[in-house]
Homo-oligomer: A and B are copies of this chain.
Amino acid sequence: MRQTFDATTDPSFGPRHAPLIRAAMARQALDGFLIPHEDEHQNEYLPAANDRLAWATGFTGSAGAAVIFKDAAAVFVHGRYTLQVRDQVDPGLFEIPDPVEGGGPAYLERAAKAGWTIGYDARLHSPDALERLRAAVAKAGATLKAVETNPLDEAWGEARPGQPRAAVVPHPLAYAGEASDAKRTRLGEELAKQGADSAVLTAPATIAWLFNIRGGDVIRSPLPLGQAILDKDGQARLFLDPAKVAPELPAWLGNGVRLEAPDALPAALAVQKGRKVLVDPALTSAWYFEALSEAGAAVIRGPDPAALPRACKNPVEIAGARRAHVRDGAALTRFLHWIATEAQSALPDELTIVAKLEGFREATGALKDLSFDTIAGAGPNGAVVHYRPTTRTSRRLETGSLLLVDSGAQYLDGTTDVTRTLAIGEPTAEMKERFTLVLKGHLALARVRFPEGTTGSALDALARAPLWSAGLDFDHGTGHGVGSYLGVHEGPQRIAKAPSSVALKPGMIVSNEPGYYKTGAYGIRIETLQVVTGAAPLAGGERPMLGFETLTLAPIDRRCVARSLLTDEERAQLDAYHVRVLAEIGPLVPEDVRTWLEGACAPI
């Protein structure tokens, strides 16, 4: 098993560790210290060695922060973690402000005292995030101070795990589709167009994509932690721990890339003196900006130049994604068959369900990792949007309920992410009605055609309008970008309510995952990945249009559908999808599964 279900922290973490942090703060004469979730790589998922927030507080979610003052402390989390944080954090030690009250900056403005010095580790904050904190602290009459030594790291001391050293290996052209030197040349030309001499790159996904390498430093995504400096002529310096460098790597990187140890990085930044250097203020920590300014470089603040090219998958990556989704769909279909047959009477618990699904994916022989820990939410657990089953929370299935399963895999040829909501016994009329409203939104977003220049935020309402019309909605984004054997959450595109200026472009992969959640009762989500394509021209059509090709192949549970709520167009669309699922997945599954799949894919 790749997944574990035991808690890695508990509420005693705060009471045990905060005094050590405060002692280290006192030695540096700090009245407070800022602890973001982010690490040196501004990454969503962290190696254990860098999960400082969890060690300091017990909170393990992927979006949060803490402040420890000498006489008070608080933890801030994204709204989706409101319940989780109260389980994991000692409320006697930490204040837990409501997220709607404004988060860390609002707390700092309220709780910091005039004259205080509040420390921060410049390696852990992006300049964008730091500006908001600095402004709040200033309003309280206090000041921020960059520390030389992180007092939390000092307090953690010997107990801190080592930095990850997974081998960094080539990502072959058969999967990457474009050689690193070609990528570097076109990014270099882009830098020149923006008037930059070079770019400092620190986002792990950019390091992986630009050099066609993959690592294993971060769980659930094959990211190598490292940094690079790309020059406008396409030459680059790549900084990786020598212990991680696979023997074949130097030859793979070729002459255009100088491979160096991380301790060469400060000197490499120092020689940027007099040059114009592009750095992303949202992805790269403040330390780099300060180091470049001190070196006398002219910093150009702008988006990571690899973000958009990486998001637009090339034909080889798209072909890989199709293969990965057929393979993953066959594994998932075997699981769905098990849920629809044996599990209906055995009524297993969530942990058994997660293990069973992982087993089917493992059996493909191609599984490199899961793309995230499986969410299997039975009954009311399905209504907890970012639920992850543990030994303490796992529920057994019950007849007359719904099971929500959100899972995905990492294969060399692609990353998957799929959610199906499944009937255990006979769903109620209300469950079917709401499932169908979610399905209508999902189908609308899957079939939409749209002109170039359209953003994901312009399409978001299509997936919500059927729910809105019934007085319902859901509190998460409708779609996120997905990498190619990279992160399962990858920008810059997304489909969400928040305004966006990033247009959807051919080759971008996005999820389509509307949902509905009834607290204490059940959760519904239907998620597929889809790739932006040029839409086939139509008779009478006047303008080129873009559209989506659905990548994910697994039946949508017909037992949950209220047929009468679908229009003829929606019925035909659902049936056509199922015809495709049966044609592509049917030949890959055992006889008994195929027989079941024929029924599961029958016309609605």
Contacts and interface: CB of A to CB of B under 8 A. Distances in A.
Interface of A: 430, 433, 444, 447-451, 453-455, 457-462, 464-465, 468-473, 497, 499-501, 535, 537-538, 540-543, 545, 567
9 contacts: A448-B465, A461-B462, A470-B541, A471-B543, A471-B545, A473-B543, A499-B499, A499-B501, A567-B567
A99 to B, nearest CB: 16
Most chain B beta carbons < 10 A, residue from A458, A460, A497, A501: A458
Given A457-B457, A460-B458, A462-B462, A471 B449 contact: yes
B497 A469 contact: no
A433 B471 CA distance: 32
Contacts of A567: 567
A470 B451 CA distance: 11
B461 A450 contact: yes
Given A499-B457, A500-B499, A449 B462 contact: no
B540 A455 contact: no
A497 B470 CA distance: 26
B453 A545 contact: no
A430 to B, nearest CB: 7
Nearest to A496: B458
Contacts of A473: 451, 543
A458 B468 CA distance: 13
Contact of A458 (B448, B450, B461, B542): B461
Contacts of A499: 455, 457, 499-501
A433 B473 CA distance: 33
What is the predominant secondary structure among interface residues of chain A facing chain B? loop
A183 to B, nearest CB: 30
B497 A468 contact: no
Contacts of A471: 449, 535, 537-538, 540-543, 545
Contact of A449 (B444, B447, B468): B468
B542 A453 contact: no
Contacts of A450: 461, 464-465, 468
Most chain B beta carbons < 10 A, residue from A450, A461, A499, A540: A461
Nearest to A497: B458
A473 B543 CA distance: 8
A523 to B, nearest CB: 14
Nearest to A516: B542
B465 A540 contact: no
A542 B518 CA distance: 10
Nearest to A567: B567
A436 to B, nearest CB: 13
Nearest to A502: B499
A459 to B, nearest CB: 6
Contacts of A535: 471
A3 B472 CA distance: 49
10 smallest beta-carbon distances between A and B, as pairs:
A471-B541, A499-B499, A471-B538, A449-B468, A458-B461, A449-B469, A450-B468, A451-B473, A471-B545, A567-B567
Contacts of A540: 430, 433, 470-471
Contacts of A455: 499
A499 B455 CA distance: 9
Contacts of A541: 470-472
A485 B448 CA distance: 39
Nearest to A537: B471
A493 to B, nearest CB: 14
Nearest to A535: B471
A429 to B, nearest CB: 11
Nearest to A458: B461
Contacts of A468: 448-451, 545
Contacts of A454: 461, 497
Contacts of A459: 461
A476 to B, nearest CB: 14
Nearest to A472: B542
A540 B432 CA distance: 13
Nearest to A568: B567
A505 to B, nearest CB: 16
A435 to B, nearest CB: 14
Nearest to A447: B469
Contacts of A451: 468, 473
A129 B512 CA distance: 39
